[in-house]
Structure 1
Amino acid sequence: MDDPNATERPRNLFEKEYYPASTSGARYRWYRLVFHHDAPDERNFDLWLIAAILASVAVVILDSVPAVKAQWHGALYLAEWFFTLLFTAEYILRLWVVRKPLRYARSFYGAIDLLAILPTFLSLLFPASASLTVIRALRLLRIFRVLKLVEYSSEAGVLIEALLRSRRKIFVFIATLLTIVVIFGALMYVVEGPEKGFTSIPTGMYWAIVTVATVGFGDIAPTTSFGRFITSVLIVIGYSIIAVPTGIYTAELARSLQPKRRVVRCTECGLPDHESDAWHCRKCGRSLPSDQ
């Protein structure tokens, strides 16, 4: 029997389940174990998977510490390959149990599963790429499924929707900020010059970004009086505009959280708008017309 059960349909954004390749036998039991979390064994599989992900990320981090690497590199190297082969087998298993393996491979979780194992194999050709294995920490997003937090996906949708609605305003803000950075970077290149560390306009732009963000690394600093005056002006500008994108996004978020309204004028008091599910005027209490 190749048709999936109705209960196997994807339910939400974070728990993206796929149609099983079979609805009976060992293949279906593995599908339930890998993609579901209702039964104790299914939940335990997810918990062990999360523990393995955490352990593998810890191995990569520890192997980057010189003192630890000098003494335990051999054991950590073997552990990394053990986790990589384990995750490779799990990835192949996920492709085997779904009806459309390519669909899963192109999904968000499928892409993360593949990226989690690629760096170790690439390290055979490019040793430095082994450190990129920490990307498998993204697989911890499955904890939403295990802890049954997927009900909050609608709240995440509100945040994303507010961000998308404010994208034009934020783009204008970033364009203005980049213009300020270019102008002040070029100005400091002219005022201070290469002998003071401002060897090029891009270097001046880097200094301007650090200054306007009020970070101030101190690796490049003006020494002339006029250069310090320019720096003071840029710092004031930075404090003035640093809250702009936050205010834009907060305004859009507040707008998203407001109850939806509809334009319907009360025939008694003339109030023009009410909540979308209102039957009576919120000012005088008269029944609202239903044909507007």
Structure 2
Amino acid sequence: MTLVKIRSKLRGLYLGTSTQAIRFQVAMALIDLVILIFFVLGPYLGNGRSYFIIDYAIAFVIACELVARILVATDFKHWLMRPMTWVDILVLGTLLFPQQLSNFAFLRAFRIWSLGQSKAFAMLMTHAGCARWGDVIKAVINFITFLFLVTGFVYTTFFYHDAGINGFVDALYFTVATITTTGFGDITLPGTAGKLTSIVTMIFGISLFVRLAQTIVRPNKVAFPCPQCGLQRHDHDAVHCKACGHILNIPDDSD
């Protein structure tokens, strides 16, 4: 197979919306979940042989994906400047040198977030009959991604060397208490770095938490721009635009 055909095939898988492309993208998301689980279980595995086997196997997968994305990219410079590219490079570096660098594999949670924003995800929701819940599902994905990213950072920076799963649970407990502004105070992060982490978590976390609550509570709307006034969201059974009265023709995607 020539390089041109390989690039065309990869672009279809990474950027396409066919059944095969969607399956591929979901499979990549499952690989990201495996990487996240490996990150959480890192202290259990220690620095034994099994740890390094899994570690370098995951590093090989990420390296292959980076090569594949280079082939997919139409502009290498633009690809190199993308934040997700540097996230993958950082994760790869921590996997290749686990004893010298901290484990930042939790950053792969960004991949799950990016899948939630893709056209393939929207198609999956439509095929599953959940299109009307798209905003709620995306808000949940955004909140969970942020929750895991902060928990992963706190876990890596402050609790990673604690015995067993207790370190991750403590990091998760601290993150949830901070985001919800409960502030029990039984677990706090030491030093200036801990205070700054708490501040950032509170500022961004409460915003996502409120956004999630609003999305769940508010009535379900469908994204359909009014041809006359441009209003973006309407009730599913709306016949007229509530802003200008223009007659709408909203497609019915229900079974």
TM-score range, shorter chain: 0.3 to 0.5
Q: Highest relative contact order (Cα 8 Å, sep 6+), 1 or 2?
A: 2
Which has the higher Rg, Structure 1 or Structure 2?
A: 1
What is the TM-score when the length of structure 2 is the normalising length? 0.46
